[in-house]
Every structure is written in C-alpha cells, then in structure tokens.
Amino acid sequence: MQRLLHHFRKSHDVACNVSCIISVNPIRDVACNVSTIFCAFTFHSMKVNGTPFHTIWLHPEIPGIVQVIDQRKLPFEFAVVDLLTARDAFDAIRNMTVRGAPLIGVTGAYGICLGLLGATTGNWRTELEATASLLKSARPTAVNLAILVDEMCLALADCTTNEMAIQQAYREASRFKDREIAWSEAIGENGLPLIEEISRKKNGATVNILTHCNAGWLACIDWGTATAPIYKAFHKGIPIHVWVDETRPRNQGARLTAWELSQEGIAHTVIPDNTGGHLMQHGMVDLCIVGSDRTTLNGDVANKIGTYLKALAANDNGIPFYVALPSSTIDFTMHDGVKEIPIEQREADEVTTMEGVREDGKVGSVQLVNPGSPVANYGFDVTPARLVTGLITERGVCSASEAGIRGLFPERLG
C-alpha cells in the first residue's frame, strides 16, 4: 500500500493541489462540461451547471485519493482539491477548503483513512491515535468532527493489521458519508410541512425564508440542512424566496448560499447582515431556518456568528425560528451552550480584508480596516434554546429542549 501511495504521489503530483478548475469567470454563467471530472455518481440531487455533484468523493481512477470542492474559491472559480494525507485533510478543514459541520465530520473520517494509508512507522495504532488527535484539533466548535473521528477509531478497534484497518476505514467513511446524505434528505422531508403550512396560510403566495451563513449542500454532502426543506419545497412547486444574509466576515451567505440557490434556480436576495430585523418588522419574513455547528442536550445552538441576533429579532417579531441539524451535530454531553461550547477565534485578516473581483477581472483581496486597529474574530455564537421554535432533525421536529431531544433519540441517553 505504501508503494502504491508513493507511486501516486510521484506520477500524479496531486498532494493537496487543485486538480481541475472549471470556471474562472465570476460575472457570466459559463457553459462548461463538468461531467469529465467525475461521472461515477448518479444519485445526487444538487447540481453544478446541471451536473450532479457531492462535496467530497473518492477519486474515480486513483485508489485512496479523496477529492473535495475548494469552497474558498466559490463563486468565482470551481476547483477540485486532491487530499492524499491526513495532514491534507487537516489543512482542508482548518483553512476552510471544506466547511460546514457535517462535511467537516466526513472529511475527518476520510482523514483517518488517509492517515492509515500513509502509516510509516509500523505501529499503525499509535499513528492512528496521533492522526485522530490532529484531525480533532483542526476546528473546535463543530462537534461532528470529533464524533465521526471517534466513531472511526471505534470501528477499527478489532482490526489486527494496517491493511485490514485501511479497508475497514474506507468502508466506514463511505458509510458515514451516505448516512449524512440520508439524514440531510430526511431533514428536508421533515421540514417541508412547515413551509407547506405557511404556503397554505398565504393562499399559495410566495413563502419568504431567511437563512444565515451557508447550511446548504456545500456544508454537507448533498441537500444541506437549513436548505433541505427549501429544496424540497421548491421541487414540489411551492413558490419560495430566500433572504440570504451575506454573513461576514467570510461572506458565506453571499458567496456560497447565493451560488447554491442560483444553481438550483431558486429566487433569492442577498442582504447585509443587519437587514434581517428590518425585514421582519415589515412582514417580509415568514420563517427563519438556520443550521448548527453544535447543539447541546438542552437545545442551545452554536452557529455562525450573528445567528443569535437573528433569533432575537425573530422572537421580537413573532417569526418562527427553526434550526435544522443531523443528530451528529448534537452534543449529548453538554447542557449549557453559552458556558460549555468552545467558540473558535479565527485570524484577523478575515475581518481586515475582503476577497472579490477587481476592476481588471482578477480575484483578489482589498484592505477594509484601519491599519493597526486590533480585531476580534469570533467564528460562532450561541442561541439559547428559549429563542428556538424547534429543531428539524432526521427523525422529525422537536422542541429545543432536553425532553424534545430525548424523545427523538432515546438510545443516545442513559
């Protein structure tokens, strides 16, 4: 296996490099043929220029290599990155080549596979423990990463050789990926009635939904979490319009959610982060749906910074505020999100600069903040359970409470 991996590195030179750039024009919709990148998958729902895609997959021709969409480049370029090592997976998570709690978790699972594939010391179990610790340190807030890495290690407990562990690891990682897809679609089905009810009350008029950050298929594998009910409603013919928070500082709403919705043909409007409250006051929002990076047993929700303020505004205006999440995002060991959830603090340059298309048509960054001024960049905030109307999970909708969560997932608790 080591010789095989060495051959791939030498002959393909693909370690953590962009393997394909499909579109570099940020202004016009380039008609491009993406089917040449991978055609092995036929069961996707979400599309890129009409071709079904997932956010992570195994290379169709080179065994062992993991490929991911480089989300740092969207919507200006569509690029695919090859991951050959556990360090590649760590870097992809840390630098947000991949992001979103479910996708981070699955990437961590495949990172375990890559670590085993590259084991060099002869003591693969020791290397497995080191790889697991490395991967779990990449980003602290999203609990999916730690949960799936630990599940991978547990699944390998009975393996007696590295070769056996490699085979088992890839099977498990693929199973976790398929599980996240199924859970996302189930979230969509369980959230659909909420939109249908509003549509009936409005006599078929457009349902206006506000979302924050990107909890779409890019943050998962397919369907997404917050977007899954939206996609299901749209496919069912319900008129939908989405208010898309830009979501500073990385603009994941303006860049990623808007791109997703454009690809699906869903009506949407990008708004500055502080606009949501104004829209709610004037009856222009029917429903808020957001995702989660970690939800505690009592129903507190950690999500992208700014979510808490949207929940406050929704509560003040009597607008339902739902959180869509798979059970892999629930931390059954925590009971107080504000006190217990670790909040990631990211680099200052995410705030001081902004990336976009310059007048010369090239993508680049510009300075926004007064030089020398200190910057705080908290990546997440916690919305208390009292502000959450309900949790939309793969098993149904429940109250944001320990009783509600226990009711849906009794086997996870003593």
Catalytic option among 70, 245, 273, 293 = 293
Residue 12 token pair: 């393909």
Specify whether the CB–CB gap between 321 and 277 falls below 8 A. Answer: no
β-pairing verdict for 207-211 and 51-52: unpaired
Q: How far is 87 from 131, CA to CA, in rounded Å?
A: 8
Beta strands across the sheet bearing 18-21:
18-21, 79-83, 66-69, 56-58
Specify whether the CB–CB gap between 389 and 321 falls below 8 A. Answer: yes
Whether 293 is catalytic: yes
What Rg do the C-alpha atoms of the chain give, in angstroms? 21
Segment (H or E) for 45? none
Q: How far is 347 from 361, CA to CA, in rounded Å?
A: 27
Q: How far is 37 from 39, CA to CA, in rounded Å?
A: 7
Q: Is the dihedral of CA 248, 271, 277, 200 positive or negative?
A: negative
By CB atoms closer than 10 A (0-12, 13-18, 19+), residue 209 is buried
Query: From the centroid of its chain, how far is CA 210?
Result: 18
Residue 61 CB neighbours (<10 A) = 9
Q: How far is 75 from 58, CA to CA, in rounded Å?
A: 23
> Which positions are catalytic?
293
